[in-house]
Amino acid sequence: MENPSFFVTLKQVIDDFNLENVSNMDDTDKIKIITPDVNRPGLPITGFFDYFDANRIQIIGKVETTYLQKITSQQRYESFDKLFSRKIPAVIITRGLEVFPEITETAEKYKIPVLRTNQSTSRFLSSLIGYLHHWLAPRITQHGVLVEVYGEGILILGESGVGKSETAIELVKRGHRLVADDAVEIKKVSETTLIGCAPEIIRHFIEIRGIGIIDVKKIFGMGAVKDAEKIDLIIHLELWKENKQYDRLGLVDEYTNVLDIDVPSLTIPVRPGRNLAIIVEVAAMNHRQKKMGYNAAEELNQRLMDEIGKGGL
Amino acid sequence: MISKEVVVQNQVGLHARPATFFIQKANEFKSSIWVEKDERKVNAKSLLGVLSLGISKGTKITIIADGTDEEEAVNAMVNLINSNFSEQ
């Protein structure tokens, strides 16, 4: 599933989690982590290697350490010789636990970094998995504009020249934030969440026909930009087609699929004189209201049911 | 949909000025045109999109077009790159 062209280097993991490099291995920037899954090698250290995924970082916690204390030095040596011969990316020992000399010895032999953290195992596992999912998420680059309007991340899509950038600049002028113009890098960080950001080279630049490239952060200030934003709503801008029926009621929900996630979307026809920035603002508020209104209705219904229940007794 | 690989050979790569020639050419066609570098694919008609790829000399890119004039589009884009954006 994972695209192997996405990776995060072990060095990055070490730096971001402040891990202690017990084996003092260099070249951690050459080791690539390509899977967001990790493993606690409880079974492999007893010799069971079926379904073993050698791409995963191995985490050794209290359970594994207690087991290792109970076996002989020779057995520890053999079991880590087997584990490291699989060319795993790294071993991380949690809770600041003692590192057996057999681990460092065999790690040296196979050039596998041994790292250590003081954090508890479950806590470290969950933050590491979350982190890896973020860095190794499936992603695409989408032609469009990403803005944050009233706290909602809105991805504006449409043909070149339909007025996406102009809408964005007007939204910025009205106090909202620009995340990306022209090219939006979208990452699927969970089964329900898409995060968009700008490619670094063009971050916070915008192109306005007739003016050229402008630096939004320099012109409008820090409050006008944002590095990344989740995508809550997609707005398709299209030139008004005479005989197309546009949504008049907003009763039917429309979705646009991005990286296998259905994102609520709207199609807004563009015609000269239509103030798109205000329409996008209204769309954002309406979307929030739908999200909040839905919950309020549930709440109200629940209260109502409770009342009826009481009365019935 | 057709695509063609090409290596950018001009001295400075696809910096701002050659990139404007590039997108102007792309905008002459009706087809949707994309430029792909490594795993990233951007709209060839968008200036910032093309610049975001940071295409330097010797970079291999793929031109992809889809539409009624896709063949002419891909050929024209490849010719433009091969002519080194008529620099000199």
3-state DSSP assignment of residue B74: helix
| A164 catalytic per annotation | yes
Q: Which residues of A touch B42 (CB under 8 A)?
A: 141, 143, 183
On whether residue A213 sits in a domain, the answer given is yes
A204's CB contacts (< 8 A; 6+ apart) are A178, A198, A215, A216, A217, A225
CATH code of residue A289: 3.40.50.300
Q: Is the pLDDT of residue A279 over 50?
A: yes
A293 and A203 both lie in a single domain: yes
Instruction: Report the predicted TM-score, pTM, of the whole model to 2 decimal places.
Output: 0.74
Radius of gyration of chain A (CA): 26
- Is A216 found in the same domain as A131? no
Of the candidates A113, A135, A157, which is a domain's last residue? A135
Please give, rounded to a whole number of angstroms, the shortest distance from the CA of A157 to a CA of chain B: 12
* The domain boundary residue, chosen from A109, A135, A161: A135
Nearest residue, CB atoms, B42 vs list A3, A183, A207: A183
Residue A122, phi-psi category: left (phi > 0), alpha (psi -120 to 50), beta (remainder): alpha
CB pairs under 8 A between A and B: 51
* pLDDT value for A3: 45
- Specify whether A174 is catalytic: no
- Residue A26's contacts (CB-CB under 8 Å, 6 or more residues apart) are none
Confidence of residue B87 (pLDDT cuts 50, 70, 90): low
A85 and A233 assigned to the same domain: no
User: Is the domain of A218 the same as that of A126?
Assistant: no
The whole-number average pLDDT for the span B1-28 is 87
Confidence of residue A296 (pLDDT cuts 50, 70, 90): low
User: Quick one: A196 and A289 in the same domain?
Assistant: yes
- Segment A78-91, tens digit of pLDDT: 999 999 999 999 99
Q: In this model, does residue A310 exceed pLDDT 80?
A: no
* Residues B60 and B9 sit within 8 Å (Cβ to Cβ): no
Q: Is residue A239 part of a domain?
A: yes
For residue range A14-60, what is the model confidence (pLDDT) as tens digits? 999 999 998 888 888 889 999 999 999 999 999 899 999 999 999 99
A85 and A156, same domain (yes or no): no
Q: What is the DSSP letter of A225?
A: B
Q: In this structure, is residue A116 part of a structural domain?
A: yes
Give me the percent of chain A exceeding a pLDDT of 70.
Answer: 93
Residues A89 and A227 in one domain: no
Q: Do A160 and B38 touch (CB under 8 A)?
A: no
Q: What is the pLDDT of residues A109-129, one digit of tens each?
A: 999 999 999 999 999 999 999
User: Which residues of B lie inside 8 Å of A (Cβ-Cβ)?
Assistant: 16, 27, 38-43, 45-49, 51-54
Map out the domains of chain B with their CATH numbers: 2-82 (3.30.1340.10)
Residues of A contacting chain B (CB within 8 angstroms): 3, 5-6, 140-141, 143, 160, 181-183, 185, 198-199, 201-202, 205-207, 213
Same domain (yes/no): A209, A258: yes
What's the CATH code of the domain at A103?
Answer: 3.40.1390.20
Judged by DSSP in three states, A260 sits in coil
Q: What is the structure's pLDDT at A252?
A: 67
Which of helix, strand or coil describes residue A224?
helix
| A2 inside domain | no
Over the stretch A202-225, which tens digit does the pLDDT of each residue have? Answer: 999 999 888 989 999 999 999 999
Of B16, B41, B49, the CB nearest to A182: B49
Please provide the average confidence, as pLDDT, over all residues in chain A.
89
Residues A256 and A193 reside in one and the same domain: yes
DSSP per-residue codes, A280-313: HHHHHHHHHHHHHHHHHHHHHHHHHHHHHHHHH-
Which of B62, B63, B83, B88 lies closest to B9 in space, CA to CA?
A: B83
Token digits for A195? 């995060």
Domain of residue A131 covers 8-135
Which residues of B are identified as catalytic?
15
CB within 8 Å: B49 and A198: no
A307 in a structural domain:
no
Whether A308 is in a domain gets the answer no
